[in-house]
Amino acid sequence: MSTNASAIENIQGIGRPWMEVLHEWVTTVDHKGLGLLYILYALSYLVIGGFEALIIRAQLMHAHNHLVSPQVFNRMFTMHGTTMIFFVAMPMLFGFANYLVPLMIGARDMAFPRLNAFSFWLTALGGGLLYFSFLGGNGLYGAGTAPDVGWWAYAPLPAKAFSPGHSSDYWTIALLVSGLGSVGTAINILTTVLCMRCPGMHLGRMPLLVWLNLVMSGMVLIAVTPLTAAQVMLLVDRYLGGHFFDTQAGGSATLWMHFFWIFGHPEVYILILPAFAFVSEIVPVYSRKPIFGYPVMVGATVFIGFVSMSVWAHHMFTVGMNSYANSFFTITSMVVGIPTGIKIFNWIGTMWGGRIRFKTPMLFCLGFLFQFLVAGLTGIMLASSPFDWQLGNSYFVVAHFHYVIVGGLLFAIFAAFYYWYPKFTGRMLSEQLGKVHFWLFLIGFHATFDVMHIPGILGMPRRIYTYEPGRGWDTLNLIVTIGAVIQAAAILVFVCNLAVSYWKGANAGKDPWDAWTLEWSATSPPPAYNFATIPVVASRRPLWDLKHPEDPDSRYE
């Protein structure tokens, strides 16, 4: 316990021998310490993965560019994709979940603190292994061989025949290990939510953030494990001479595709649900109204969770499924749009009739709403399978998913940073730098990913290290590259903001945003035990009840 306590004090920067501090960070089992570790870990990988993106963009700046070799380029997009999904998005979201869920349900820690630490260090090991491949991919004698099979590693590319050396092994094992970490964390979050809620907080009173993370954890359990299984099979092939995906021995390439996407599609909703969670907490506070249609929001989330398990093959419209399969996966993919739409409408309903305050977190949320709408609609276009026969594997797809992941997820994550950083550190992030960050990133984002749709429509496939001139792709790619550089600048501003405000930021106090959920009742940062006495709640907005005794929510629920 004492370790945790001081682990928190470190955050306030109370100077002590750095070895000691380090030791406490490494050994902490406190959900807040681990949450921050997750977040810092993800942030550093965001910069690495983004750097790889910059290399990709620099190479594609104009036709027949010779900046990097095809081999290097293929490694770059493989590492970029793998890093961003497994070592940026996942840990980032787990980090926030770790930190916030116990606080929001009035608990003192996660259900299994040690499992929690174990899961984090597994994830950390995974990232380490992936990047060690740069050294070890060929065995230590031949350097510079990161995996180059793409982030889906479609069979038979990762088979020994086409991928000698060990680069694919590092890819496989890294994902296997971090996958186990994810499952551990999911079990932990699920158990925490179901077994650690403070008195009075029955399921119908949990903050939406908790609800969405609950569903997310449930999805991790059923969606990440198929990938684990597939990775095990791949290892059996590579090390024991198995034939699961060995097309020479009758193995099936499409089976791998199915297994990967049975993981892959739910995964993208696993990523977006926590983003929804942030928005569902932040929009109400800055609109000064409770979330519109809470029960419907919960229902929609659960519905998304279920349907998203049955849409995976919309990533496989071009592999030659029969017309019935194509129709089936078209309809399921489109049906997901309904509950998602409900969410968007409810967020608008929340702002409707409110008094919106445009603080940085709210700005990022508005960005999220707009961009997610567009991204979802391009998703619907891709879901229309014949349309996808044209757009699939083109830059239109790349544009679609960056629109969701960067324009949606990343914007929501930035919103969460500006909103909860005061709780994490006790200091406010600079509002000026925040606005600069927002506008720069918004401009960079749209310059990059709006334009990126067009080369896709003009027939530019993805994963090509160079392209022919005279197809109308050149100028567009140049603009996209410039946009990426602007994004980099914006993120540099953000990193500076994090650093500067950590030392110079204004003091936050318990509740800087005049918010309503339990975490704002604890000090900033909260003590190791979170709450001296376990709170008792009577509504979804306990702090509202506290601040408005004359008219508490509990009267209406």
Partner 1 sequence: MQGYLIASSTNILAPASTPARTIFGLSLFVLGITALIFVVVAGLMVYSVVKFRARATDAAREPAQVCGSTQIELAWTVIPALIVAVLFLATARVIHAIQDTPKPAAALDVIVVGHQFWWEFRYPKLGIVTANELHIPASDRARPTPTFLKLTSADTDHSFWVPELGGKTDLIPNRVNQMWLDPPRPGIYLGQCAQYCGTQHAKMLLRVVVERPADFGAWVSAQQQAAIQDARVSAGKRVFETNVCINCHAVSGTAADGRFGPDLGHLMSRATLASGAAENTPSNLRLWIQTPDAIKPGSLMPAMKLSDADLDAVTAYLETLR
Partner 2 sequence: MSAFTIPIPPSPRPWVLPDRGKVAMAALIIAESAIFTIFVVAYLFYIGKSLTGPAPREVLETPVFSTICLLSSSLTLHVAGKFLERGKQSAFLGLWLLTFILGGVFLFGTGLEWHRLIHEKGLTISTNLFGTTYYSLVGLHAFHLTAGLLMLLAVLIFGLTGRVNQDQTGRVGVLSMYWHFVDAVWVVVFTVVYLVGR
Residues that bind ligand HEA (CB under 6 A): 47, 50-51, 53-54, 56-57, 77-78, 80-81, 84-85, 88-89, 150-151, 268-269, 271-272, 314-315, 333, 336-337, 340-341, 344, 373, 376-377, 379-380, 382-383, 388, 392-393, 397-398, 400-402, 404-406, 409-410, 448, 462-463, 484, 487-488, 491-492
Both tokens of 513, joined, read: 């945003």
Which residue has 């983003």 as its token pair?
275
For partner 2, give the closer residue by CB, 19 or 195: 195
For Cu ion, give the closer residue by CB, 205 or 400: 400
Spatial separation of the C-alpha atoms in residues 434 and 303, rounded to whole Å: 35
Which among 319, 263, 154 has a CA at the least distance from the CA of 163?
154
3-state per-residue secondary structure call for 252-282:
CHHHHHHHHHHHHHHHHHHHHHHHHHHHHHH
Binders in 261-290 for Cu ion, by CB under 5 A: 265
Give the binding-site size for Cu ion (rule: CB under 5 A): 1
Q: How far is the CB of 282 from partner 1 (least distance, A)?
A: 14
542 binds, among partner 2, ligand HEA, partner 1, none (CB under 5 to 8 A by kind): partner 2
Spatial separation of the C-alpha atoms in residues 449 and 453, rounded to whole Å: 7
Binding mask 510-539 for partner 2 (x = CB under 8 A): -----------xxx--xx-xxxxxxxxxx-
Q: How far is the CB of 376 from partner 1 (least distance, A)?
A: 9
89 binds, among partner 2, Cu ion, ligand HEA, none (CB under 5 to 8 A by kind): ligand HEA
- Cis before 156 (ω within 30): yes
- Please state, as a whole number, how many other Cβ atoms lie within 10 Å of the Cβ of residue 263: 24
Spatial separation of the C-alpha atoms in residues 105 and 535, rounded to whole Å: 9
For partner 2, give the closer residue by CB, 249 or 499: 249
Q: How far is the CB of 195 from ligand HEA (least distance, A)?
A: 29
Both tokens of 349, joined, read: 């309903």
Which residue has 């060690």 as its token pair?
132
Give the binding-site size for partner 2 (rule: CB under 8 A): 59
Q: How far is the CB of 191 from partner 2 (least distance, A)?
A: 5
Among 145-153, 223-231, 257-265, 524-532, the segment contacting Cu ion (CB under 5 A): 257-265
Q: How far is the CB of 282 from partner 2 (least distance, A)?
A: 23
- Cis before 525 (ω within 30): yes
Read off the amino acid at residue 466.
Answer: T
Backbone angles phi, psi at 374, to 5 degrees: -60, -50
DSSP annotation of 536 reads -
Helix (H, G, I), strand (E, B) or coil at 336: coil
* 427 DSSP β-pair partners: 507
Binding mask 83-112 for partner 2 (x = CB under 8 A): ----------------------------xx
276 binds, among ligand HEA, partner 1, partner 2, none (CB under 5 to 8 A by kind): none
Spatial separation of the C-alpha atoms in residues 237 and 159, rounded to whole Å: 7
- Please state, as a whole number, how many other Cβ atoms lie within 10 Å of the Cβ of residue 468: 11
For partner 2, give the closer residue by CB, 226 or 379: 226
Among 154-162, 228-236, 436-444, 484-492, the segment contacting partner 2 (CB under 8 A): 228-236
What's the distance, Cα to Cα, between the start and end of the chain in Å? Answer: 37
Binding mask 165-204 for partner 2 (x = CB under 8 A): ------------------x--xxx-xx--xxxx-xx----
Buried b (16+ CB within 10 A) or exposed e, 279-308: bbbbbbbbbebbbbbbebbbebbbbbbebb
Q: How far is the CB of 510 from partner 2 (least distance, A)?
A: 9
Among 91-99, 260-268, 297-305, 336-344, the segment contacting Cu ion (CB under 5 A): 260-268
* 326 DSSP β-pair partners: none
Half-sphere exposure of residue 527: CA atoms within 13 angstroms, side-chain side: 7
Give the residues lining the site for partner 2 (CB under 8 A). Answer: 111-112, 183, 186-188, 190-191, 194-197, 199-200, 221-223, 225-226, 228-230, 232-233, 236-237, 240-244, 249-252, 255, 259, 262, 521-523, 526-527, 529-538, 542, 545-546, 549, 552, 554
